[in-house]
Each structure stands twice: as C-alpha cells, then as structure tokens.
Amino acid sequence: MGKTLFDSPSFANHEGVHAVFDEKTGLRGIIAVHSTARGPAVGGTRMWNYASSAEALEDVLRLSKGMSYKNAVADLEMGGGKSVIIGDSRTQKSPELFQAFGRAVDTLGGRYYAAEDVGVSVADIAEARKVTPYVLGLNDGPEASGDPSPVTAEGVFRSTLTVARRLWKQDDLTGLTVALQGIGHVGGYLADKLHAAGAKLVMTDVNEALLSEVAARTNAEIVAPDVIYDVKADIYAPCALGATLNPQTLDRLSAKAVVGAANNQLATPDIGQMLFERGVLYAPDYVVNGGGIINVASELNARNTGGAYDPAWVEAKLSRLMETLEEILERAAAEKRPTHQIADAIAEARINAARDQKAEQLKAA
C-alpha cells in the first residue's frame, strides 16, 4: 500500500490509467486500459468499498491485465481493461452516478468498453448506456448478449470432460466425485451438467435455501462452506470466490484436478507451481471460464456490424477455446511445466504479436 502507479507491483506496462471523478454524484473511480493491441479494451466495472484509493488502484491494475490475457487466449479481437468505482454498492448507487461513470467512459472514445462485474448490475450499465455507446452486457435490443453464465458453465463443463479424458481416460464423469464450491449463476448450471454426465456431487454454498434446492435436483451431498476443502473428491470446482487455492487449502485438497469458474483461483502464481509439483492438474481459470467474455464479445461484434447476437459464432469461439485448453494441457505435460505458465505464454505471445504488428502499421502509415 501507499505505492504510486509506476512502482506498484501490479503495474504491467498499462497503456493508460485514468482517474475518474464527479463531484456532484460522488463518483470516484479508476479506468485501467492494459492493452488495446488486439482491439478495444473490454472488461467489467467493479463497485467495491475499497479501504483506500491505493487498494482500488492495485485491483484495477491486476484485473485489467487479467482481461488482456483472458481475451487473447479466447482469441477475441479485444484488448484488456477494467474499471473500479470506489463505494458501497448497497448504499451508494444512483442512476446519476452511473451516468457520470458513462460520461467518463465516453471520454476514452471507444478505447475501453465497460460491462457488469461485482457490485454492478445490468440496470447500472443501462444507465451508463444513456450517455455512451461504449458499454456491453445489455438485456435488450438485437445485439444484447444477456446473462453470460450459461455459456460460462458450458465452458467449465467441457473443460471438466477434457480433464476427465486426460486423467481417467473416460468420456463422461461416471464414478468421479466433484467438490463444487458455489452454486450461484454459473455453479447452478454447472451442477446440472455434471450430474447429467454421471458425476457424484458434493456441494456447498453460503446460501442455504439455494443449496438445498440445487442439491435435491442433482442428488448431491451438502457440506458446510469450510468443509469443501476436506471432501474426498476427484475434482475440485471453485465457483464462488477467488484465491481459494492458497497455502492453507492446498494441504487439505485431495482432488487430482481443479476445474472451476471462479476468477483468480491461484492466490499467488507460485501456488500454480505447487499444484504442479503435487501432481494436481490445474485447468487455468481464465481459459476455463472464458465462455462468459466470448458471449459478451458477440454483442460487440453485433454493435460494430449492425447485426444481432450470434449464438453460432459464440459456439465456434467456445469450441476453439476448448481446443486451446487441450493444447495447454498437452504442452504442459510435454514440457513438464505448470499449466498456468503455458496459458500465460500463449496469451503473451498473442498480445505481443498484435502490438508489434500495430507498431509496424503505424510506422508504415
């Protein structure tokens, strides 16, 4: 904490970091454009009660870089960005605040597109849309991509099948136990798919009403939130919070594979190395959960071409992403390296190639 921008450990050659402020509505936020090499920077807006602006800066720097990697590995013509609004999303929201935020996004002229993230709803983004075209994740109009969760869940499910084929040489999940943490938007759809494919489910959530409903229809065993790490399972599926793979949980997990929707599952990159050394196959989070951003990308395409949301295009991109996951797992095995390093290398190579090509084009122009 207390670090300035350039000596922050999370600063990673970001193209632009913009403080946004509006006195009338109390807007205080930061928009970080990590890279526009592959296209406009796209990434959600998070509203969070950060303890300090330094904490908000760290978060937006880290998250915006993550979006560059996620978008590149999904082979989308989009760069990476993210924004944060400092405040309590339960008490400090107003339509005017999101319109002020929309005006701030608009000043970037399309270098950054905002969308929903933690604490920000479709209704909030719709307020911003009144003043700028540079937002995505809307609910109405032909281009609207709607709730991305079913597509995210489908990607997590197919990733689980890929892992089962590699580790257990089977095409379905019969006889395998999945420890599912979080059965919200993504986890709920995922539970149904895992159950239909023959998996035995052990699940947890802090929402007990939802938990008993989903467990009943998927024949699942219920455990308390903290017990999920101790469950004897073949696969651990984190679908709630980030950083659940950390030094405390690692010793408790018995699963041979980790495949889940949560963002930023590794508390620190060295946890990826530790999982590798323990022989646990970690399917990199931002590859596994890329279905959601692919869904959003279809809205951007439709916007640019005057067309409509295209489920066939989404399916083609998701299939390609699943091939990329296979490549990552294959390369990691061949090179005896952790999977997250291979995923990062693929993303970095794509971003750097696009950046160099752009620089050449500018020189030639």
Locate the DSSP E strands across 280-333. 281-282
Cα torsion through 151, 123, 308, 354, rounded to 10: -70
Using CB under 6 A as the criterion, what x/- string covers residues 292-331 for binding ligand NAD?
A: x---------------------------------------
117 within 8 A of 46, measured Cβ to Cβ: yes
Binders of ligand NAD among 238-297, rule CB under 6 A? Answer: 239-242, 261-263, 289, 292
Segment contacting ligand NAD by CB under 6 A, of 1-9, 148-156, 249-257, 341-349: 148-156
State the minimum distance, in angstroms, from the CB of residue 262 to ligand NAD. Answer: 4
| 225 touching ligand NAD, by CB under 6 A | yes
Closest CA to 39 of 75, 11, 9: 75
Q: Which residue has the tokens 């760290």?
A: 58
| C-alpha span between 117 and 83 (Å, rounded) | 9
Q: In Å, how far are 19, 78, 162, 328 from 171, measured between CA atoms?
A: 50, 33, 8, 19
**Annotated catalytic residue, options 82, 193, 200, 317:** 82
Indicate the residue among 99 and 181 with the shorter CB distance to ligand NAD. 181
302 within 8 A of 113, measured Cβ to Cβ: no
Q: What is the DSSP string of 182-229?
A: --SHHHHHHHHHHHHTT-EEEEE-S-HHHHHHHHHHHTPEE--GGGGG
Segment contacting ligand NAD by CB under 6 A, of 29-37, 80-88, 164-172, 234-242: 234-242
Is residue 363 part of the annotated active site? The answer reads no
Q: Quick one: which of 15, 205, 234, 299 contacts ligand NAD (CB under 6 A)?
A: 205
State the minimum distance, in angstroms, from the CB of residue 111 to ligand NAD. Answer: 23
Q: Is 186 annotated as a binding residue?
A: yes
Q: Is 187 annotated as a binding residue?
A: yes
The pair phi, psi for residue 176, each rounded to 5°, is: -100, 140
Cα torsion through 5, 110, 347, 267, rounded to 10: 50
Segment contacting ligand NAD by CB under 6 A, of 200-208, 212-220, 250-258, 345-353: 200-208
| 187 touching ligand NAD, by CB under 6 A | yes
Q: Quick one: which of 107, 170, 174, 207 contacts ligand NAD (CB under 6 A)?
A: 207
Bridge partners, residue 30, by sequence:
19, 84
State the minimum distance, in angstroms, from the CB of residue 328 to ligand NAD. Answer: 18
CA 213 to chain centre: 26
| 185 touching ligand NAD, by CB under 6 A | yes
Segment contacting ligand NAD by CB under 6 A, of 30-38, 184-192, 340-348, 353-361: 184-192
| C-alpha span between 292 and 259 (Å, rounded) | 16
Bridge partners, residue 282, by sequence:
258
Closest CA to 35 of 80, 2, 3: 80
Indicate the residue among 87 and 155 with the shorter CB distance to ligand NAD. 155
Indicate the residue among 41 and 108 with the shorter CB distance to ligand NAD. 41
State the minimum distance, in angstroms, from the CB of residue 150 to ligand NAD. Answer: 8
Q: Is 85 annotated as a binding residue?
A: no
By beta-carbon distance, which residue lies closest to ligand NAD? Answer: 184
Segment contacting ligand NAD by CB under 6 A, of 76-84, 125-133, 177-185, 270-278: 177-185
Query: What tokens were used for 204?
Result: 């947890």
> Is the torsion defined by CA of 210, 213, 217, 220 positive or negative?
positive
Please give the annotated binding residues for NAD(+), written as ranges.
182-187
Interface ranges with ligand NAD (CB under 6 A):
148-149, 152, 181-187, 204-207, 210, 225, 239-242, 261-263, 289, 292
**Catalytic residue numbers, as ranges:** 82
